[in-house]
Amino acid sequence: MDLGLKDKVALVTGAGSQLGFGKATAVTLAKEGCNVIVADMYLDGAEKTAAEIRALGRKAMPVNVDITDKADVSALVKAALAEFGRIDILVNNAGIAGGGGFFATSKEDSWDQLIDVNIKGMLNCTRQILPLMLQNKYGKIVNIASGLGKSGGPGTSVYSATKGAVISFTKSLAAEVAALGVNVNCVAPGLAPSTNFGGTPDATESSPARTASERSNSVLATIPLGRFTEPQDVANMIAYLVSDLAVDVVGQPISVEGGRFMM
């Protein structure tokens, strides 16, 4: 099915990780005809993703950016406009996990890092790109949250709080700009096969820490579909949401996680 994305210009943050949702999204959008700005903290990864996109016959611009730095994001947007003249699609994918363990013993520096990347980074990118979309009366924004942003979970309090903020921001922004030609939605992915289960946030004095394999199997048992979420699963949903097939899908936090957080 043609999604009508030929020659659209997409900016995907956090698209350099070769196992992540961002790379899969950038490549999938390129397959649908988009030219892609590949933004990442690590230029080597961004260049690898960009090379894969160019091999598909589409244009790609790898950019090294720290999304928590407003000046860095401004430079990214200027470079993108110089190269492509516009930005039609923004996928706020860049984010971090961490801060695991009981909140009572958590450290403030870990809160700051999660808030800076997962919330402030998304706000920085959206704030600088949204006015361009409003001027053109066209734009698609997809923010990446998490099932934990809907449900929460032990050992994930600050991370879950940041992803809950992503969901609330998506809904509020969508209500502001839907009638102005900009559609905003959110994808809440499940755990990918590459998830690191090496931490021990479930350990207590009376309950010893489980191995990474035990934790992985325990989580897998909670997923009705019986498998982890592949990056391509998330990329497919994002491609749909940024297409005009999803014109009536507005401000929605759509779960792509095999039914683990059904609600």
Domain positions in the chain: 9-192+230-255, 196-228
Give the pLDDT score at 233. 95
* Residue-level pLDDT at 199: 47
DSSP string, 3-69: -S-TT-EEEEET---TTSHHHHHHHHHHHTT-EEEEEES-HHHHHHHHHHHHTTT--EEEEE--TT-
- Average pLDDT of the residues in 43-56: 98
pLDDT reading at 245 higher than 80:
yes
Instruction: Enumerate helices (H) and strands (E) in the chain, giving the number of each.
Output: 9, 7
Q: Please give the pLDDT value at position 222.
A: 74
> What confidence score (pLDDT) does residue 193 get?
72
Q: If pLDDT is split at 50, 70 and 90, which confidence band does 196 have?
A: low
pLDDT of residue 200: 46
Report phi then psi at 228, rounded to 5: -80, 165
The residue from 42, 138, 159, 240 that is catalytic is 159
Render pLDDT for 204-225 as a digit per residue (tens, 0 to 9): 444 556 676 666 677 776 777 7
Say if residue 197's pLDDT is above 70: no
Residue in this structure with the two tokens 């979970």, named with its chain if needed:
153
The phi, psi pair for 141, rounded to 5°, reads -125, 130
- Both tokens of residue 243? 């297409």
122 against 198, higher pLDDT: 122
Q: Which residue has the higher pLDDT, 32 or 263?
A: 32
Residue 20 has pLDDT above 90, yes or no: yes
Query: What is d(CA 49, CA 15) in angstroms, rounded to the nearest whole number?
Result: 7
* Top-confidence residue, 190 or 95: 95
Predicted confidence band at 84 (pLDDT cuts at 50, 70, 90)? Answer: very high
9-192+230-255 folds as Rossmann fold (3.40.50)
**63 class by beta-carbon count within 10 Å (0-12 exposed, 13-18 middle, 19+ buried):** buried
159 is catalytic: yes
Q: What is the pLDDT of residue 156?
A: 92
Expressed in angstroms, the distance from the first to the final Cα of the chain is: 29
